[in-house]
Amino acid sequence: MSRKLRFGILGAGRIGPVHAETLAYRAPQAECVVIADINLAAAEAVAARYSIPNVVDSATAVIDDPGIDAIVLCTPTNTHAGIIAHAAQAGKHIFCEKPVSQSLAEIDASIAAVEAAGVKMQVGFNRRFDSNFMRVRKAVESGEIGTPNLFHIVSRDPFPPPLSYLRPSGGIFLDMMIHDFDMARFLMGEVEEVFASGAVLVDPGFAAEDDFDTAIAMLKFASGAIGTIDNSRKSTFGYDQRVEILGSKGKIATENRYSNEVVVSGEKCVYTDLPHNFFMQRYPESFALELQMFVEAVLEDKPVPVTGADSRAPVVMALAARKSVDERRPVRLAEISS
Ligand SMILES: NC(=O)c1ccc[n+]([C@@H]2O[C@H](COP(=O)([O-])OP(=O)(O)OC[C@H]3O[C@@H](n4cnc5c(N)ncnc54)[C@H](O)[C@@H]3O)[C@@H](O)[C@H]2O)c1
């Protein structure tokens, strides 16, 4: 394809504008020609900010437009499967925000629809494209730290979402730890077993929603390595995103990122400003790079870097984690079939 890849963005809420910005300024081989949202005013605001020439109030109008090559799917998760089926049938390539669905049956149907149509689908596990985490993976792959034995992720949000967000989100394992389950696979390979614990320590409202605001998962990898993920919905000092792997020849660790590197030394203490506050500030490069790689995969007919299968595995892990908490026992992923 010699011309630019023509995109339609579906959904102008929190994440839609992030991808609109990439298409506007950081993807020279692509352009966003339309944005759709059932809340037309939201779509109009994003269109004005990023000079998107067309605004519509339905996903269908974008999908059925023969002038559109690909969609960026940024509507709520429970709408993804239906839109993917329609878009694949219409021959559109699909960049779908994570997760494809909370239902394994819907994920399988989406993967089948995309395969049958011969279009590409990439899933938005953006943290894989963060330079720190890419460097950690390189260390593991190259044997730089020997055989990885112990793995830890700390992943804590600065503040909890509104309680109304929780129930449709699927809860802490499907909504929040899902990124960390993906990171665990990305860095260490397949997981075989999850043993999880959840607690309500930040806001009692989480209990009424049958959810947790604090959780730990212990993972057993197929390689024999073991690891932990810890999540909290409240980290008073900002977005706490760290990884450490201990291998037979050494250790690799990533620290939080900051908006500046200033160190203030006073009479009583030495200090820095706080780390980035949330994912928009912490991960902008990864959001740009994932979409750039999708554009490249479509234009050059290369495999996408994050596949439908990659989107299924962390959902299995999240379902296993919830089952583990409910049944107070380690759960093998092989037990999860729906
Ligand atoms: N990768 C990440 O870090 C990340 C971060 C945030 C959200 N997400 C994912 O992105 C998706 C959207 O999340 P969000 O936080 O932006 O949600 P949001 O609720 O802020 O925005 C969704 C938008 O979609 C619109 N919408 C709903 N149904 C629609 C339809 N059928 N057609 C067109 N527009 C429709 C809504 O009006 C809303 O403006 C979710 O799957 C979420 O998991 C990923």
Q: Which atom of ligand 1 is nearest to the CA of 16?
A: 16
How far is the C-alpha of 233 from the C-alpha of 278, rounded, in Å? 12
pLDDT band at 204 (very low <50, low <70, confident <90, very high): very high
* pTM metric for this prediction: 0.95
Query: What is the Å distance from ligand 1's center to 336 Cα?
Result: 27
Task: Show the CA angle centred on residue 138, arms to residues 132 and 140, nearest 5°.
Answer: 110
By CB atoms closer than 10 A (0-12, 13-18, 19+), residue 204 is exposed
pLDDT in the model for residue 3: 80
Cα–Cα distance, 141 to 139 (Å, whole number): 6
Q: What is the pLDDT of residues 131-160, one digit of tens each?
A: 999 999 999 999 999 999 999 999 999 999
Question: Of 50-54, 169-173, 228-232, 328-332, which gets the smallest average pLDDT?
Answer: 169-173
Q: In the prediction, which pLDDT does 260 show?
A: 95
pLDDT in tens, 280-312: 899 999 999 999 999 999 999 999 999 999 999
Residue 1: what pLDDT? 59
Least confident of 115-129, 164-178, 179-193: 164-178
Q: For ligand 1, say whether the CB of 94 is within 6 Å of any of its atoms.
A: no
Provide the CATH topology of domain 128-282+314-335. Dihydrodipicolinate Reductase; domain 2 (3.30.360)
pLDDT tens digits, one per residue of 57-107: 999 999 999 999 999 999 999 999 999 999 999 999 999 999 999 999 999
pLDDT band at 333 (very low <50, low <70, confident <90, very high): very high
Is residue 43 in contact with ligand 1, taking CB distance under 6 Å? no
Q: Would you state the pLDDT for residue 167?
A: 85
pLDDT above 90 covers what percent of the chain? 96
Annotated domain spans of the chain: 5-119, 128-282+314-335
Percent of the chain with pLDDT over 70: 99
Q: Is the CB of 75 under 6 A from ligand 1?
A: yes
pLDDT at residue 338 in the model: 73
Mean pLDDT value across residues 165-189: 95
Do residues 94 and 73 lie in contact, with contact meaning Cβ atoms separated by under 8 Å? Answer: yes
Mean pLDDT of the chain: 97
The single residue listed with the structure tokens 């629809």 is 113
CA-59 nearest atom, ligand 1: 32
- Cα of 13 vs centre of ligand 1, distance in Å, is 5
**332: pLDDT confidence band, cut at 50, 70 and 90?**
very high
Predicted confidence (pLDDT) at residue 2 exceeds the cutoff of 70: no
Q: Report whether pLDDT(124) > 80.
A: yes
User: Regarding the domain delimited by 5-119, which CATH topology (the fold level of the hierarchy) does it fall under?
Assistant: Rossmann fold (3.40.50)
The mean pLDDT of 310-336, rounded to a whole number, is 98
Residue 287 CA, closest ligand 1 atom number: 1
Buried b (16+ CB within 10 A) or exposed e, 88-102: bebebbbbbbbbbbb
| Residue 162 pLDDT greater than 70, yes or no | yes
Identify the residue with better confidence: 335 or 166: 335
Query: Running DSSP on this structure, what letter comes out for residue 275?
Result: B
Residue 168: how many other CB atoms lie within 10 Å: 11
